Structure 1
Amino acid sequence: MRARVVGLAGIGLGGLAVVASVTAGSWVPLLPVQLPLDESFGTEALGREVTYLDPVTLAPVTSEDVATSVRVRGDEDTGAAGDRTAVWEYVSETSDADGTLVATSTTLVCLDRWTAEAVDCAGESVDGEPTDIRGLTVRFPADTERRDYDLWDTTARQPFPARFEGVERLDGRQVYRFEQEVPEQVIRSVPVPGRLVGSLEDEVFADVVHSSTRTVFVEPLSGVVVSEEESPVTALRGPDGTSGAVLLSGTSSWSEASVREALARAEDVRDERADLRTGVRWAAAGTGAALLALGALLATRRSPTQPHDAQDEPVRVPVPSA
C-alpha cells in the first residue's frame, strides 16, 4: 500500500516537471547579453537612382548600380575596451560599378555593452577627427523597447530621433520598425569651383547641406539591426543661397544576403540568451520522465503474499483413547 502511495506521488511530481519543461519559455527569464568586444560583420546596401558628383571630372552622374558597404570590427585590445565598454570601428564606402569611390567614412565609437549607446572615450572619432558621438550607432540594445531612440547620423555628426512606427514581419521574424528624419541643415562649408554653385568666380565657399530619411528594422530580443533603407540628399549651396551640385542623393536598401546574415546574427544572440531556458527545459523533462517511470513502476507493483501466521492455525486437541 505504501509503495502505491509513493508511486502516485511520483507520477504527480513527474507530470508537474513535464509541464514545467513545456512551459519553460514563459517563466524562465532570458539571460542578459552584452555587446561582444570582438564583433565582426559587414552589410551591403544597393542604390536606386543614385546621383553623385564624379570626384575626378566634377560632373553629375546618375547610376542604378551604386553600392554602400559597411564593415564593423571590434577592437578588444584597445585600452578603452573592457567589462563595460566595447570599442567598435565601422567603415562605410559607397562606390559605383566601375569602382569609382563616391563617398567614404570611418567612425570609431565606444559603446556601453549593456545599452549599446555611445559613451565618452579618448579615441572616438569620425574620419580621424575627435567627435562627441552620442546615441545608438550600428546596434540597438537587447530587449529593444517600443519607443523612440536617438540614432547617430554620421554625415550630420549628431543624433536624431528614430521613432518607433510599429511591428512587422521579416522572413517570418517579428521586427520593430523605426523611422528617422534628419532635417535639412548646413553641416560644413568648403571651397569649390564657382561653377558648381552657379558662380562665375573660379572658387567660392559653399555650404554643404544635408538631409535624410532612414528606416531601420530591429530584431527586438537581440537588438540586431536586420535591414535598413536610407535616402540621403547632400548638396552644395552657394554663398548667395543658390542651389548647387548634388554631392549624393538617392535611395539604398540592404541586399537580401545582408538581411539573411543579419537575421542569422540575431538568431545567434537569441540562442545565447535562451541557454538558461534550454537547460531548465531539458532538466525538467529528464526529471519528469524519470519520476513518471518510477511512479508507474511503484504504483502498479503488487505486494507479495504473506504466509499465514502459525498462531492463526486451529489448535488440534488430542482425543484420549478408551
Structure 2
Amino acid sequence: MRGVVGRLLLVVGVFAVVAGGVAIFWGKDAAYRIPMDTDSFTRLTGEASGALAKSDTPVPVTYVVHTQVDPKRSNDDVIAMEQTSCMATTSDYCIDAKGTFVLAGDDEAVVNIGHNKFALDRRTGLPVQDQGKYVSDAELVKDYQGFVVKLPFNTEKKDYDYWDSTVGKAVSAHYAGTRTIDGLKTYRFDVTVPSQTAEIAADTQGTYAATQSVWVDPVTGAFVDQKATQTVALLDGTKLLDVDVSYTDGTVKENVSTAKSNGRSLWVVGTGLRIIAPIVGLLLIVGGVLLVRRRRA
C-alpha cells in the first residue's frame, strides 16, 4: 500500500513541479493580457441639459457603452476593439443586451451616439502604432495616445496619460487616493480638462470642458466605478450639452465581481503556480521517495 501511495505522490509531485515551471516561463505572460472574450456593457445614469438634450434645464438621461473585441483582427499581441455608445432622455438604454441600437440616431430622445474602433497592445493596454492595420473603417483611425479603456495591469499610485476623444489627445489622470468598494481595494484617478477650443463634431469648432473620476482595480487595471461631467458649446456660446453621469449600482457591482474573479485567476497563475506549486511538488516527491524506499526495505 505504501508503494502505491508513494508512486502516486511521485506522479502528482512531478506534475506540480512541471506546472510550476510552465507558469514561471509562460503562464504569467499569457495571463497578463487583455482577454479575447471581452464583451461588456457599461451603464450610467445622470442628468443633461442643452440643445442636444432638448432642454434648458437638467433632465434625466441614461448612457450605455458597449465594448467588444473583433477576433478576426486580433492576435496574441494585439487586440482590436469596437466601442459604441448612446445617451438618451429615456429610462431604458438605447443599446440593448445584444448590442443593438433600439433607437434611431434621429430619434427625439437620443442625445448623442458614439462609435470608435482602436487596437491595443494586449500586455500594456496602450494603443499600437499602426492603428490602420487593425481598424477596418478608415474614418475611425485615430492617433490614439495614452490609455483608452483601462489602466495597466498592476496599476501604480502615480499619474497616467489617458485618452480624451474630444480634444484628440492624452490628458493626465492624477492619482487621488484609495477606496474600498464592496471589499475590493481601488485606486482613484481624477481627470480635468479645462475649457478649451476643440472639434466638437465633424468640421465644427466649439468649446469643451470635462472632469472625470475613475476608481480602478490595481491588479487588472479595470475601471470599477466612475463619475464624469462634460460641457460642450458652440463658439457663439450656444450650449449643446451639459452632462453629469455616473456608473449605476448594477454596473459597479458587476465590475467588482469581475475584478475579484480575474484577480484570483491572475494570483493562481502569477503566484500560486509559479511559487507554491514547485514547493508542494518537491515535498510530494520527497514524501513519495521515502514511502517507496520504506516499502522496499
What is the distance in 2 between the residues matched to 1:166 and 1:34? 26
Is the CA contact (8 Å cut-off) linking 1:31 and 1:275 kept in structure 2? no
How many residue pairs align between the two structures? 249
Is 1:47–1:65's contact at 8 Å kept on the other side of the alignment? yes
Q: CA contact under 8 A between 1:105 and 1:127: conserved in structure 2?
A: no
Alpha-carbon offset, residue 206 of structure 1: 7.1
Deviation string 1:49-102 (CA, Å, 9 cap, x unpaired) is x213147xxx53434420110000011102xx2222111111121111176110
- Distance, in Å, in 2 between the alignment partners of 1:230 and 1:126 is 28
Residue of structure 1 in register with 2:241 after alignment: 248
Residue 158 of structure 1 pairs with residue 163 of structure 2:
no
Structure 1 contact 168–175 (Cα < 8 Å) conserved: yes
Q: State the match for 2:87 in structure 1.
A: 94
CA distance, structure 2, for counterparts of residue 206 and residue 74 of structure 1 = 31
Deviations 1:158-200 (A, max 9, x none): 2100011112211221111001111211213779xxxxxxxxx
1:112 maps to which residue?
121
Q: 1:65 aligns with which of 57, 60, 69?
A: 60
**Aligned partner of 2:222: which letter?**
V
Asked if 1:184 is matched to 2:179, the reply is no
* Contact 1:45-1:67 within 8 A present in 2 as well: yes
Amino acid at match of 1:143: N
Task: Report the alpha carbon displacement of residue 125 of structure 1 after superposing the two structures with TM.
Answer: 8.9
Secondary structure, counterpart of 1:77 in structure 2 = helix
Tell me if the contact between 1:84 and 1:114 (Cα under 8 Å) persists in the aligned partners: yes
Say which SS state the counterpart of residue 257 (structure 1) adopts. Answer: helix
Question: 148, 151, 159: which one pairs with 1:148?
Answer: 159
For residues 256 and 43 of structure 2, the distance between their equivalents in structure 1, rounded to whole angstroms, comes to 14
Give 1:70-89 correspondences, 5 Å limit: 70-78=65-73, 81-89=74-82
Alignment partners' CA distance in 2, 1:94 and 1:126: 23
Percent identity, please: 23
Partner letter of residue 263 of structure 2? R
Cα shift at 1:157: 2.0
What secondary structure does 1:274 align onto?
Answer: helix
What stretches of structure 1 of length at least 5 have no aligned partner?
Answer: 1-27, 192-204, 296-322
1:260-304 per-residue CA deviation (whole Å, 9 max, x = no partner) reads 111122123212211233445477568769989x99xxxxxxxxx
Conserved 8 A contact 1:46-1:252: yes
Aligned partners of 1:226 and 1:259 also within 8 Å = yes
Residue 266 of structure 2: aligned partner: 273
TM-score, normalised relative to structure 2: 0.72
> Is contact 2:150–2:223 with CA below 8 Å preserved after alignment?
yes
1:211 and 2:189 correspond: no
Query: What CA distance in whole angstroms lies between the structure 1 residues aligned with 2:242 and 2:268?
Result: 45
TM-score by length of 1: 0.67
Q: CA deviation at 1:221?
A: 0.7
In structure 2, what is the equivalent of residue 43 of structure 1? 42
CA contact (8 A) 2:65 2:85 kept: yes
Structure 2 unaligned spans of 5+: 1-23, 92-102, 104-108, 291-297
CA RMSD of aligned residues (A): 3.4
Question: 1 CA distance for matches of 2:200 and 2:226?
Answer: 29
Bigger helix fraction: 2
The one-letter code of the counterpart of 1:149 is Y
- 1:234, distance to aligned residue in structure 2 (A): 0.6
Q: Is 2:42–2:66's contact at 8 Å kept on the other side of the alignment? A: yes
Distance 2:258 2:28 in 1: 17
Greater Rg by CA: 1
Task: Please tell me the residue identity of whatever aligns with 1:252.
Answer: V
